[in-house]
Amino acid sequence: MKILTTVKKVVDVELTIRVQDGSIVEDGLQYLINAWDENAVEAAVQLKENNNAETTLVSIGGGDNTDMIRKCYAMGIEKGIHVEDPALDKADSSVYAKVLKKVFELGAYDLILTGKQAQDTDNGQAGIMLAEYLELPCVSNVVNIEVMDDSHVKVSRLGDAGTEILEVELPAVITVSDSINEPRLPQMRGIMMAKKKPIETMDLSALGISVEEVGGDTPTSEIVEFMASQTRAAGQKFEGDAADITAKVVDLLANEANVI
């Protein structure tokens, strides 16, 4: 089984993010692997270990992705492709999906694994759109993958009414929730070996596709402005005797907020 995992470099969401004049202030930001994609990498490596799969990752954009890709190598991914092209600067999910489609077609993969969304956009679209463009089956928000045979997997996804269990014919696209696994920490041996592994970097022309074909010039949507999030003002906090402060808060809930 050949697995393609998509990995995006995103801003570290734990740090303070400031907005000025409609843009995010770059100063002080740090970047790392999208957490949900890290779950997808772990899932791919587990399939490699348990089912003799071959694992490749692809990452689009992000500038210097060497550290992130090496980390994935150290976790057990065997091959890495980095697509970097200035024409993708305005890319929306649909553009990403069209680039991924081309990567998929060049590799004849059986399974595409990706995080359910990227932490920088929280869109959750590219993987699902990729499946549509490839006319492949797709299951999103997946928490378990079991290989049934060479051409079928059984997956569980968290849906609105409960856990949905599906049998999926390969090739297929699966987007994973972070509930699927706990990504491993790379071990020293893996980290050392990762340093020697090449990363295949290519632009759109090397990939054999034009900017028009992926809609790079004409994304379906574009971000025109960032604004600071409306933060909730911290309200009243009570310390002291539990009975007194609890009675006080209940009175406020009933008579000030009118919610109980």
Q: Which of 46, 125, 146, 193 binds other proteins (CB under 8 A)?
A: 125
Pick the piece of the chain touching other proteins (CB under 8 A) from 13-21, 48-56, 59-67, 73-81. 13-21
- Cα 57 to its chain centre, rounded Å, is 12
Task: Tell whether residue 234 is a contact of other proteins (CB under 8 A).
Answer: yes
Phi-psi category of 108—alpha, beta or left, where left has phi over 0 and alpha has psi -120 to 50? left
Say how far apart CA 109 and CA 112 lie, in whole Å.
7
Nearest in space to 76 (alpha carbons), one of 170, 175, 173, 197: 197
Task: Tell whether residue 238 is a contact of other proteins (CB under 8 A).
Answer: yes
Distances (CA, A) of 254 to 172, 236, 247, 250, 251: 52, 15, 11, 6, 5
Task: Tell whether residue 147 is a contact of other proteins (CB under 8 A).
Answer: no
**Residue 179 or 205 with smaller CB distance to other proteins:** 179
Helix (H) or strand (E) holding 23: strand 23-24
Q: Which of 2, 24, 110, 190 binds other proteins (CB under 8 A)?
A: 24
Say how far apart CA 194 and CA 191 lie, in whole Å.
5
Subset of residues 47 to 86 that bind other proteins, contact rule: CB under 8 A: none
Task: Tell whether residue 13 is a contact of other proteins (CB under 8 A).
Answer: yes
Pick the piece of the chain touching other proteins (CB under 8 A) from 54-62, 105-113, 183-191, 219-227. 219-227
Q: Which of 141, 194, 209, 216 binds other proteins (CB under 8 A)?
A: 141
Q: Which of 163, 187, 205, 210 binds other proteins (CB under 8 A)?
A: 163
Dihedral over Cα of 42, 46, 48, 51: its sign: negative
Q: Which of 54, 84, 110, 120 binds other proteins (CB under 8 A)?
A: 120
